[in-house]
A and B are shown apart, each in its own frame.
Chain A
Amino acid sequence: MKNKNMPSYIIAIILAVIFIYPLYILILIAFEPISLTFDRLYPYQLPFIFTLKNFEASIKDLSLIKPVIRSIIVAFTVGILAIALATPAGYGLNKLAARFSNKIIMLMFVVNMMPAIVIAIPISVYFIKVGLYNNIFGIALAQELVVLPISVFIMLGGFRALPQDIENQAMVDGASIFHSFRNVILPLIKIPLLISFLLAWMTSWDEFTYAVIISPVNPTFPVSLYDYVSRGEPFIASSFALLVTIPVIVIVVVLQKYLKGEYLSGGMKI
Chain B
Amino acid sequence: MKYKLELVDLEKSFSNKKVLDKLNLKVIDGEFLVVLGPSGEGKSTLLRTIVGIENLDSGKIIVNGTDVTFKPPNKRNIAMVFQNYALYPNMTAYENIAFPLKMARTDRNSIRSKVDQVAKLLNIEPQLNINVTRLSGGQQQRVAIARALVRDPALFLLDEPLSNLDARVRYTSRQELKRLQKELSHTFVYVTHDQVEASNLADRVAVLHNGVIEQIGPYNELYEKPNTQWVGDFIGTYPMNFIPGDLMGYPDSTIGFRTRWVSEGNDITAKVTLIENSEGNYFVHCKTGDSDIVIRTDTKYNVDDTISFGLERFNIYKNGVLEEIKSGNSVASSGINDVDN
Residues of A at the B interface (CB closer than 8 Å) are 163-166, 168-176, 179, 183-184, 187-188
Contact B86 A174 (CB under 8 A): no
Contact B88 A172 (CB under 8 A): no
- With a cutoff of 8 Å between Cβ atoms, the chain B residues found around residue A165 in the complex are 82, 84, 86
Residues of B at the A interface (CB closer than 8 Å) are 48, 51-53, 72-74, 78-80, 82, 84, 86-90, 99-100, 102-104, 147, 151
Q: Name the residue on A nearest B99 (C-beta).
A: A173
Besides the contacts A172-B73, A173-B103, what 16 more A-B pairs have beta carbons closer than 8 Å?
A164-B84, A164-B86, A165-B84, A166-B86, A166-B89, A168-B53, A168-B86, A169-B80, A171-B53, A171-B73, A172-B51, A172-B78, A173-B151, A174-B100, A179-B103, A184-B90
Contact B84 A188 (CB under 8 A): no
Q: Name the residue on B nearest A188 (C-beta).
A: B90
Q: Which of B82, B87, B89 contacts A168 (CB 8 A)?
A: B82
Say how far A201's CB is from chain B's closest CB, in angstroms.
25
Q: Which of B82, B84, B90, B103 contacts A187 (CB 8 A)?
A: B90
Q: Which of A164, A172, A176, A188 contacts B79 (CB 8 A)?
A: A172
- With a cutoff of 8 Å between Cβ atoms, the chain B residues found around residue A183 in the complex are 99, 102
Report if A188-B89 is in contact (Cβ < 8 Å); known contacts: A172-B73, A172-B74: yes
19 contacts between A and B (CB under 8 A): A163-B86, A163-B87, A163-B89, A164-B86, A165-B82, A165-B86, A166-B88, A168-B48, A168-B82, A169-B80, A171-B52, A171-B72, A172-B51, A173-B99, A173-B100, A183-B99, A184-B88, A187-B90, A188-B89
Q: How far is the CA of A164 from the CA of B86 in the complex (A)?
A: 7
Contact A174 B82 (CB under 8 A): no
- With a cutoff of 8 Å between Cβ atoms, the chain A residues found around residue B74 in the complex are 171-176
Q: How far is the CA of A164 from the CA of B87 in the complex (A)?
A: 10
Contact A172 B89 (CB under 8 A): no
Q: How far is the CA of A171 from the CA of B82 in the complex (A)?
A: 12
Q: How far is the CA of A183 from the CA of B82 in the complex (A)?
A: 19
Q: Name the residue on A nearest B74 (C-beta).
A: A174
Q: How far is the CA of A166 from the CA of B96 in the complex (A)?
A: 12
Contact B104 A169 (CB under 8 A): no
- With a cutoff of 8 Å between Cβ atoms, the chain A residues found around residue B48 in the complex are 168
User: Which of B78, B79, B90, B102 has most A Cβ within 10 Å?
Assistant: B90
- With a cutoff of 8 Å between Cβ atoms, the chain A residues found around residue B89 in the complex are 163, 166, 188
Say how far A115's CB is from chain B's closest CB, in angstroms.
41
Contact B53 A174 (CB under 8 A): no
Say how far A262's CB is from chain B's closest CB, in angstroms.
15
Q: How far is the CA of A171 from the CA of B72 in the complex (A)?
A: 8
Q: How far is the CA of A114 from the CA of B48 in the complex (A)?
A: 45
Q: Which of A163, A164, A174, A188 contacts B103 (CB 8 A)?
A: A174
Q: How far is the CA of A168 from the CA of B44 in the complex (A)?
A: 13
Q: How far is the CA of A35 from the CA of B151 in the complex (A)?
A: 79
Q: How far is the CA of A164 from the CA of B72 in the complex (A)?
A: 19
- With a cutoff of 8 Å between Cβ atoms, the chain B residues found around residue A168 in the complex are 48, 53, 73, 82, 86
